[in-house]
């Protein structure tokens, strides 16, 4: 029950008109016998421009040459070939294709031509490249995270050793020398105790400072505006950067991770304003924007260059990553001489006013 030639042609046409890929059938001399509609659309030509012609009459010489060679390889080997190729479309844009070419045989098994299908994989290629880049970025970040953690530990160890180690040793020496003086005259005792109390007071101050730098407890206890207030004060004392804080509504109802992210991002923005912007003033605004909370940090420094993404620098990448993990975004704009603005947008939990408390 073999279909007639006519029915055969109709079936072939239906297939070629409906497939999204470029497809063709060629004879042994690489002359086109049939092509898909997608083929004609991609090239912007009519069937009459292609059928009966050879690749060099349809394609630019260099492309045609490759097609002839791959056709010959299929004819010679009798095997299917699959390869990825790139070429410019008529508009000049570079596109990628996944192409398969196979031999066509007659009843006696002789190769009478080739069939080919070429799928546009430009988008897949682009997302692969994006994925590779973002994996590399993640690896870089997590490596740097680890190094930062190690150096932070080293710093804490040094501080504990140098500051608290010293004061505890001093206390011990005082106590040992007191023990050796017996009986202790009343005024000696009072004097020594006075000094001991002074040393202990100082170590309490040191300990508080070390702990606060590690993580401001105020963030968990009193919320974001209070912690930023503390940060603003510290920055203006240590770095002569005057920081004005303006939160439209009190403490935004962030979950703890988002709150930490917001704090660290503002902290990095202010550090950058001092280190790179050489700013003298900064303003931190907080306001509600629909379902999100927006915090902007503006400095009056020299302004970030739009292309500032030096490798090995992590501040900006870390800001973006923190914001992304909390479901938000960070935008950084600046113009030479006109300061830098960092805008952080973080979604507020649904149901809004869930007042957080530890």
Rule CB under 6 A: say whether 301 interacts with ligand ATP: yes
Rule CB under 5 A: say whether 315 interacts with Mg ion: yes
| 55 interface partner picked from ligand ATP, Mg ion, none, CB below 5 to 8 A per type | none
Rule CB under 6 A: say whether 55 interacts with ligand ATP: no
Radius of gyration for the alpha carbons in the chain, expressed in angstroms and rounded: 36
Among 10, 313, 324, 338, binds ligand ATP (CB under 6 A): 313
Residue 133: alpha-carbon gap to chain centroid: 9
Q: Which stretch binds ligand ATP (CB under 6 A): 48-56, 59-67, 183-191, 271-279?
A: 271-279
Q: How far is the first Cα of the chain from the last one, in angstroms, to the nearest whole number?
A: 80
Select 16 or 261, whichever has its Cβ closest to ligand ATP: 261
User: Smallest Cα–Cα separation from 346: which of 255, 243, 215, 275?
Assistant: 255
- SS3 call for 79: coil
- Look-up: residue for tokens 């730098």? 213
User: In sequence order, what are the beta bridge partners of 101?
Assistant: 81, 116
Q: Which stretch binds ligand ATP (CB under 6 A): 41-49, 177-185, 212-220, 273-281?
A: 273-281
| 110 interface partner picked from Mg ion, ligand ATP, none, CB below 5 to 8 A per type | none
Beta carbons within 8 Å of 261's beta carbon, 6+ residues apart: 322, 323, 325, 326, 328, 346
| 36 interface partner picked from Mg ion, ligand ATP, none, CB below 5 to 8 A per type | none
Select 71 or 321, whichever has its Cβ closest to ligand ATP: 321
Number of other residues whose CB lies within 10 A of the CB of residue 164: 14
Rule CB under 5 A: say whether 167 interacts with Mg ion: no
**Count of residues that bind Mg ion according to CB under 5 A:** 2
- Tokens describing residue 206: 């040191």
| 314 interface partner picked from Mg ion, ligand ATP, none, CB below 5 to 8 A per type | ligand ATP
| Torsion of the alpha carbons at 346, 348, 350 and 353, rounded to the nearest 10 | 180
Select 311 or 353, whichever has its Cβ closest to ligand ATP: 311
- Look-up: residue for tokens 């009966």? 52
Select 253 or 303, whichever has its Cβ closest to ligand ATP: 303
Distances (CA, A) of 64 to 28, 31, 92: 15, 12, 17
Note the residues at the interface with ligand ATP (CB under 6 A): 272-273, 275-277, 299, 301-304, 308, 310, 313-316, 340
| Site of interaction with Mg ion (CB under 5 A) | 272, 315
């Amino acid at each position: 029950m073999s279909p007639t030639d006519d029915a055969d042609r109709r079936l072939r046409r239906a297939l070629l008109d409906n497939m999204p890929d470029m497809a063709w059938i060629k004879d042994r001399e690489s002359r086109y016998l049939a092509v898909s509609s997608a083929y004609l659309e991609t090239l912007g030509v009519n069937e009459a421009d292609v059928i009966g012609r050879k690749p060099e009459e349809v394609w630019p010489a260099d492309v045609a040459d490759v097609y002839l060679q791959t056709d010959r390889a299929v004819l010679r080997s009798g095997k299917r070939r699959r390869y990825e190729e790139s070429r410019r479309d008529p508009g000049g844009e570079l596109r990628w294709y996944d192409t398969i070419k196979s031999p066509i045989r007659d009843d006696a098994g002789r190769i009478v031509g080739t069939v080919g299908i070429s799928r546009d994989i430009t988008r897949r290629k682009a997302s692969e490249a994006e994925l590779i880049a973002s994996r590399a970025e993640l690896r870089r970040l997590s490596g740097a995270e680890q190094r930062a953690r190690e150096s932070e530990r080293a710093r804490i160890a040094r501080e504990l050793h140098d500051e608290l180690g010293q004061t505890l040793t001093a206390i011990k020496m005082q106590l040992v020398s007191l023990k050796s003086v017996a009986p202790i005259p009343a005024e000696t005792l009072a004097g020594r105790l006075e000094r001991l109390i002074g040393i202990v007071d100082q170590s309490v101050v040191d300990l508080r400072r070390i702990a606060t730098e590690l993580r401001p407890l105020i963030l968990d206890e009193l919320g974001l505006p209070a912690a930023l207030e503390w940060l603003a004060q510290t920055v203006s004392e240590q770095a002569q950067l005057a920081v004005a804080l303006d939160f439209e509504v009190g403490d935004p109802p962030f979950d703890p991770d988002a709150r930490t992210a917001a704090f660290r991002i503002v902290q990095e923005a202010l550090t950058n304003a001092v280190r790179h912007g050489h700013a003298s003033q900064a303003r931190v605004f907080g306001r509600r924007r629909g379902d999100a909370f927006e915090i902007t940090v503006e400095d009056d420094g020299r302004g970030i260059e739009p292309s500032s993404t030096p490798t090995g620098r992590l501040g900006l990448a870390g800001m973006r990553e923190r914001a992304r993990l909390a479901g938000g975004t960070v935008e950084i704009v600046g113009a030479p001489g006109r300061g830098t603005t960092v805008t952080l947008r973080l979604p507020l939990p649904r149901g809004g006013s869930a007042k957080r408390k530890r």
